[in-house]
Copies of this chain bind each other. A is one copy, B any other.
C-alpha cells in the first residue's frame, strides 16, 4: 500500500467537474475559467447543447486549454465511469432520498476520497438541474447555502464556489501572503525605539507626569500595535519628535493640555 501522501495538485487533478446538459456555451467557458483559477483541470461535458463554441472560448479567458481537453460524453453514466464517488450539486429542496451535505463538507469528502481514486462533482442544466435518473447515479448530494428568497445561482458561479471549496479542502493555503517588499513594516524594535523617543519627549516637555507615565505610554503602544506602522512612518514620526525637541529645548510649556495632569 502506498503511504506517500499525494501532492495536493494531483488531488485536484483527480476531481472531474461534470456539467450535464449545459445550455449556454458561455457558462461552459466561465466554468472552465472558474475551475482553472482554483487549480482544477478535468472538465467533462454530458451532451452540451452547443460545444465547442466561440462564446465558450471567450468566457474561458485564459482557460481555453481546459475546453480543448474537455471530454464530451453522451450520458452521465459515461462521465462517471471509473470514479469512486460522484457528488451531485443540487439547488432544489426536493424529496431527498439521501440527506444533502453543505458544499464545504461535500468538498472535504471529495478531496479526501480523491486520494484513492477519481471522483466527480456533477452540475445539472441551468434551468432544470439534474434529472432524478441522474441524481440516482450520484452517491452523494451537496448544496450551496443560498438566500432562499433568491436561490438562482448562475451555473459558473456555482462551479466557482465549489471549486473554491475543493481547493481549500485539498490545499492548505498556509499563511496569508507575507510582505513581499522586505522591511516595509517597521520591526518591533523600531516601534519600541519610537515609543521610547515619544516617552522621552513627553517627559522633557512636561506633557507627562514623570511620576506616572505608564498608562499613556501603554495606550500609545497599543495603538502602534494595531497600526502596524511602516518603517517610513516610524522614521517620519521620529524626525518630527527630534525636530520638536530641538525647537523647544525649552519645554513646550504652553501647549493646550485638556487636563492630562490632574
Q: A104 contacts which chain B residues (CB < 8 A)? A: 168
Mark interface residues in A71-92 (1 if CB within 8 Å of B CB, else 0). 0000000000000000000000
Copies of this chain in the oligomer: 2
Residues on A facing B (Cβ under 8 Å): 30, 33-34, 36-39, 61-63, 93-102, 104-105, 143-147, 149-154, 156-157, 160-161, 164, 167-168, 171, 173, 176-181, 184-185, 228, 230
Q: A185 contacts which chain B residues (CB < 8 A)? A: 97
Rounded to whole angstroms, the CA-CA distance of A181 and B152 in the bound complex is 23
Rounded to whole angstroms, the CA-CA distance of A97 and B234 in the bound complex is 13
Q: Which residue of B lies closest to A150 (CB)?
A: B36
Q: A156 contacts which chain B residues (CB < 8 A)? A: 157
CB-contact partner of A98 in B63, B149, B228, under 8 A? B228
7 chain-A/chain-B pairs, Cβ below 8 angstroms: A37-B147, A37-B157, A93-B180, A94-B180, A97-B185, A145-B164, A160-B160
Contact B167 A145 (CB under 8 A): yes
8 closest Cβ pairs, A-B complex: A95-B181, A39-B147, A145-B173, A157-B160, A36-B150, A100-B176, A37-B153, A93-B177
Rounded to whole angstroms, the CA-CA distance of A94 and B179 in the bound complex is 8
Q: A178 contacts which chain B residues (CB < 8 A)? A: 96, 99
